[in-house]
A and B are shown apart, each in its own frame.
Chain A
Amino acid sequence: MSDDEVTLTIDGKSVTVPKGTKVVDAARRVNVDIPIFCYHEKIGPLGCCRMCLVEVEKIPKLMTACTLDATADMVVKTTTDKVEKAQRGVLELTLLNHPLDCPVCDKGGECPLQDNTFKHGPPDTRMEFHRHNDTKAAPLSPVITIDRERCIACQRCTAYSERIEQDSALVMLNRGFHNAVGTFNGEPYDTRFSGNVIDICPVGALTNTDFRFKARTWDLTNTATLCAHCGCNCNITMATRLNELMRIEARPNDAVDDGWICDKARWGHHFVHSKNKISAPRENNSLRENNAAGAKTVSLPTFPDNCTTENAARKIAEAFKKIVAEHGAQSIGFIGSPYGTNEENYLYQKLFRHGFGSNNIDHKPYHDTPGLPVNHYGFEQIETSNVVLLIASDPTEELPILDLRIKKAVTTRATRLVILNDQKIALDRYSSQSAQYKVGYDAAAIDAVTANLARELGESVPVDDANATGISAQDIKSLVETVRTSMKICVVYNPSALSKAAVAGVKRLLKMIAKIPTIECGAMPAAPMTNAVGAMDMGLLPDFYPGGVAMSEQEEIKKQWGENAPTAIGLSALEMIARAKTGQLKALLVHRANPVLDFPGGSQVADALRKLDLFVAHDMLETETTKLAHLVLPSNGPGYDEGTTTNIGGRVQARKKALATTRAPDWKIISLMLNALGDETDYRKVSDVTEEIARRVPGYQGISKKSVSKTGCDRDRVVSADEPVSDTPIQATKKDGGLRLRVATLLFAHDKILDASSKLAHHFQPSTAHLNEEDAQRLGVRDGDAIVLSAASVNVEAVAKVDNRCQSGGVVVPRVSDEQGANGLIDADGGAAWVKVSKV
């Protein structure tokens, strides 16, 4: 036992716990169940419900076990007559005015009030007056309904709002018997994390409007799976009934979500039953005719009526093989998905490398490389780091659960948050320093930090004048000082919001920090997509094999993947699009991606894809891209699929199947394509693929069906290849008055995923362009003006918001919807995007 621990006795059982542990939690460790309503281990003590009264030796009155710190040699008794009488009494008072409408209550069957009454309560009530009547169903927000009669005013939800969300949107109103959960001025309680109050409500007061009265909880089939929206991969429980998804709840995992999920995770699931779901293989006849007219060289395979997905897959594999035979492996390409599972991604890269001999494999329109030169930190490391450096990342919109974890670290662990970004973000108010570089100056700003740090370390490097980046030399200095004097630092960067040079710069910065012997340094590549880390680990890259094995490591590649394994660096996603445009790329397979909308270039991407001889889309929903595909394969997607994903913290977890389908799973389709090409591996179940990943992908040796079940398992560090240093000329403001564009991520964007989840429509926002005062004045634009942003032939309408979200010379446009088409403003080569702003 260390000095930080105490040993106490609870109901005769000895237990040793860390100092500061509450008696109620200590009791749980020795299986002593002290009843609670208001206490929640993640929210902390409140002392409101008085349910957890226990007897403590040497203290005359009963104590609440949830507010009492365990101390050495304390003797606690939880089942004495005195305790049981008090608990019975408190429970009688708790139930006094609670309506006994359990038969129609959503909480019925999983209700702590029912359970505690069963265990500790009186069998009847002595209440002889009419129970208090109050509002039965009032909308607290479009997705939460409050039943005021059922509320026992435990204040768990308001404490959650104050301590976890930290915006006190939900508060107690009024006083005494009339106190009530509510919001200022009756405004909707529509925060990003509001739904968690439904999970933590110990009665049926806060109910899920979407689920209300839909099913009895004991009729639900619960599946422990993962959220498939952002890169956090929060643990969730999908509840289904008669093969219909009924609701999603948080499934606490300290290593990832700390017990919370965002509202997108909870309510953004209606796409699984969307009418836009692709359910069968399909050929696009009109495109076929165009193809014939264009006299293209490939004859497209045909899918007869009722063609099974398996047959379609084989035909597609053969068609690609034919093109490779005619035009070489360089003429085909694959754009995979940062949303796919590791198994799907692994098999697809295997198909293209092993089956077709091509390295034209990618999954993203931005640049990043697998692995890190430092430790890969997970969510829990955020709490133990004393400095978190956030680069180009906006967790509030991109990775909401990371936002909660950072807030927790800053407010309860004395972690200091330092921000380097080109836009103001919500977390700025938690930061000890927020340095803002001009849009487009990301690489220069990061390099300035690295150079200053190098000089602090005694290396003689030329330090450029950082002023051009928009950050003063003093600010850079103080940022560097915070980094240099940290003991444990976690660098969180969003590669998808950084230029290629800047991503390389981040890795150089990490190496520089790692040189300081007193600092423990780790990083988190925080792209907002579900499985961006896994996609890189699985080698969905033109220049790396799975596990971060670079093309230059030819021996290693040949050993693992055979003598014929291609080792020439392939084309990136954007290069593939460019080659398609010139006709050099003949065939392309796109899995779970929508380049027409998500890639820079917009209509240019569509034009390029139209030129392909063979274009196959493998997706779960109809998109702008699937419309252009000659052949479409159905992808099952979240809810139906299974496999593993790797989150931004490097944790590999299991996504499980909650809904049954007759469609073949994606991994099966890909494995059939592999088989059609002569690969004899017989993958019978998805874990066969997982096992192969564990065998063949560096970093994944410890991954197995067993090790990832329940709470997942951290993969080993994937070692980073050296980044070439590239000169990055700083680009000045364009002479014609154009502004540098930054497309920002919005959590609740009206995209195809959320389109079917109309419950979240209240979060959708109009197209907005955030301008700096200086530019606005020069352009004669005022707050609220309707403006048009234009680049090349693309126009995007927006409402101007003059709020200095970025420095002058830039404009921030949050991606609010698919319809808005903000990415179309960016050049097809993915480089700097300049837009002209004009008033309508």
Chain B
Amino acid sequence: MTQILFKNINTADLHTMKVYEAQGGYRSLKKAFAMQPEEIVAAVKTSGLRGRGGAGFPTGLKWSFLAKDVFPRYLCCNADESEPGTCKDRELLLKNPHLLIEGMILCAYACRIETGYIYLRGEFHDLSVIMEQAIADAYAKGYLGENIFGGGFNFDLHTHLGAGAYICGEESALLNSLEGERGEPRMKPPFPAVEGLYAQPTIVNNVETLCVVPYIVNEGAEKYASIGTKKSAGTKLVSVSGHVKKPANYEVVLGTPVREIIYDLAGGIRDDNKLKAFIPGGSSVPMLPADQVDVLYDYESLAAAGTMLGSGAMIVIDDSVNIVETTLRLISFYMRESCGKCTPCREGTRWLYQIVEQIMQNAGQLEHIEKMEDICDTMATNTFCPLADACVSPVVSSIKYFRADYEKYFTNVSTSLA
């Protein structure tokens, strides 16, 4: 299978400059600096690369939205990786920090940016040490700093540790946090490309997204576009977790069937239990039942199936589990991580939690399901940011596919209502 990001991920000491360079690291810079910045933006557009953080927005398009002729501009790498189930960026940062730096230099050159920040979630303190060392080495080599390669291009790179809030993975909340403000999402418009960090044009990209850029520059946009499907170009890191035999990060070509990921790459279900459900794109996307395991793992196929590719975190659930427990666990996460800014999210997540908890104590009634659906209807798309939608996803999809699991708790009620 084509490996782009994980090609040499397990090479010993890849995180050091010496090994990274020996593997061909930083060679894209020379090629890039011979190009016009706009050509690189065009190449990224051609490559079909889409944001790997969750929303899947076309990266090249995002870069071209930067407010014209407004400087300084900023580049922020979103290394908050806070979506439950996701641990792919962690592996890149841990084992291949220079790939990210190389990608950021390319992005900065393409977008005429002179300052970059890597926003790491607070729990990534160990990675910040590795990242800092890599940045120091890159400065020492002249890849970062003033007048890189004598071409008059300057780029400074800094790391910043967050304080461990899920919402700070949302790009505008990330910018607030980076500025030292409360980690709450900002009103859009203006979008970060127009008014982002310190109210200047800003690019916010995920770690994985930026790590792809050196490949595009080295190998050409067409080559990248030829991998995967038409609408989902390239490869995707998938963090497979849950009830599989070999939970790990896998790099898959977009368009691979989910069955292959679960049963071939991850070795199948633990204890040879039966697959019950899977959440294909991190905890904030709707879950799918086992009978949809042949869906292809790409943006468009998953959307057609009523879910999303999201951050690429595949949470696999076997039939030993009552989905209501899973749902309560997920609601509890979103309830605690709601920033509290807007009413439906702040109140709704807590109310949903209370109701599901009550159901699990066998104190629920059938109409509670209707009530939950109604609350979800008020919350979904009506909130300030997508956190409430993320909370609503498991609730709605669990009711849709696993209503029977809820009904098991309604001891006093006929379960024939269907």
Interface residues of A (CB under 8 A from B): 45-51, 53, 61-62, 67, 85-86, 89-90, 92-94, 96-97, 126-127, 129, 152-155, 171-172, 174-179
Contact = CB atoms under 8 A, between A and B. Distances in A.
Given A93-B351, A127-B351, A48 B384 contact: yes
B358 to A, nearest CB: 8
Contact of A49 (B340, B343, B350): B343
B381 A175 contact: no
B341 A62 contact: no
A50 B342 contact: yes
A151 to B, nearest CB: 11
Contact of A178 (B340, B351, B377, B382): B340
27 contacts: A47-B342, A48-B341, A50-B344, A62-B381, A85-B377, A86-B382, A89-B344, A89-B375, A89-B378, A90-B344, A90-B378, A93-B347, A93-B348, A93-B375, A94-B343, A126-B371, A152-B343, A153-B343, A171-B182, A172-B340, A175-B165, A175-B337, A176-B337, A176-B346, A176-B349, A176-B350, A177-B335
A80 to B, nearest CB: 14
B339 interface: yes
Contacts of A48: 341-343, 384
B381 A61 contact: yes
B336 interface: yes
A178 B346 CA distance: 9
Contacts of A154: 343
Nearest to B388: A50
Contacts of A171: 182
B38 interface: no
Contacts of A126: 371
B140 interface: no
B190 to A, nearest CB: 11
Contacts of A177: 335, 338, 340, 346-347, 349-350
Contact of B346 (A86, A127, A153): A153
Given A48-B342, A50-B344, A176-B338, 8 more contacts: A48-B343, A90-B378, A93-B347, A93-B375, A153-B340, A176-B335, A176-B337, A176-B340
A176 B336 contact: yes
B382 A50 contact: yes
Nearest to A91: B343
B340 A175 contact: yes
Interface string B366-399: 0000010011011001111000000000000000
Contacts of A174: 340
A90 B382 contact: yes
A172 B378 contact: no
Contacts of B165: 175
B26 to A, nearest CB: 41
Contacts of B350: 176-177
Contacts of B23: none
Contacts of B341: 48, 155, 179
Given A45-B187, A67-B187, A89-B374, A179 B347 contact: no
A303 B340 CA distance: 69
Interface of B: 165, 182, 187, 335-344, 346-351, 354, 358, 371, 374-375, 377-378, 381-384
Contacts of A61: 381-382
Q: Is the interface of B mostly helix, strand, loop or mixed?
A: helix
Contacts of B344: 50, 89-90, 93
B351 A96 contact: yes
- In this complex, the member of B339, B344, B346, B349 whose beta carbon has the largest number of chain A beta carbons within 10 angstroms is B346
Listed from nearest, the 9 A-B pairs whose CB atoms lie closest are: A89-B378, A179-B340, A93-B347, A176-B338, A61-B381, A176-B340, A96-B347, A177-B350, A129-B354
A381 B371 CA distance: 54
A89 B377 contact: yes
B343 A50 contact: yes
A12 B382 CA distance: 24
B340 A53 contact: no
B195 to A, nearest CB: 14
B339 A176 contact: yes
Nearest to A172: B182
Contacts of B338: 175-177
A94 B341 CA distance: 12
Contact of B342 (A49, A96, A97, A178): A49
Contact of B382 (A45, A62, A92): A62
A89 B351 CA distance: 13
Contacts of B336: 176
B186 to A, nearest CB: 9
Nearest to A129: B354
A86 B340 contact: no
- In this complex, the member of B187, B339, B341, B374 whose beta carbon has the largest number of chain A beta carbons within 10 angstroms is B341
B365 to A, nearest CB: 10
Contacts of A129: 351, 354, 358
Contacts of A94: 343, 347
Contacts of A49: 342-343
Contacts of B384: 47-48, 50
A129 B382 CA distance: 24
Contacts of A51: 343
A777 B61 CA distance: 64
B177 to A, nearest CB: 12
A30 to B, nearest CB: 24
Contacts of B374: 89
B187 A53 contact: no
A154 B340 CA distance: 10
A691 to B, nearest CB: 52
A227 B383 CA distance: 41
A86 B378 contact: yes
Contacts of A89: 344, 374-375, 377-378, 382
Contacts of B182: 171-172
Nearest to B354: A129
A96 B378 CA distance: 13
B347 A97 contact: yes
A654 to B, nearest CB: 40
A93 B345 CA distance: 9
Nearest to A180: B340
A227 to B, nearest CB: 34
A707 B350 CA distance: 55
Nearest to A132: B350
Contacts of B378: 85-86, 89-90, 92-93
Contacts of A85: 377-378
Contacts of A46: 187
A120 B334 CA distance: 28
A86 B383 CA distance: 11
A246 to B, nearest CB: 32
A49 B346 CA distance: 10
B204 to A, nearest CB: 20
- In this complex, the member of A53, A171, A176, A177 whose beta carbon has the largest number of chain B beta carbons within 10 angstroms is A176
A771 B410 CA distance: 78
B82 to A, nearest CB: 14
Contacts of B358: 129
A155 B182 CA distance: 13
Nearest to A49: B343
A116 to B, nearest CB: 12
Contacts of A96: 347, 351
A716 B321 CA distance: 81
A685 B340 CA distance: 56
Given A89-B374, A90-B382, A93-B348, A175 B339 contact: yes
Contacts of B354: 129
Nearest to B351: A96
A152 B348 CA distance: 13
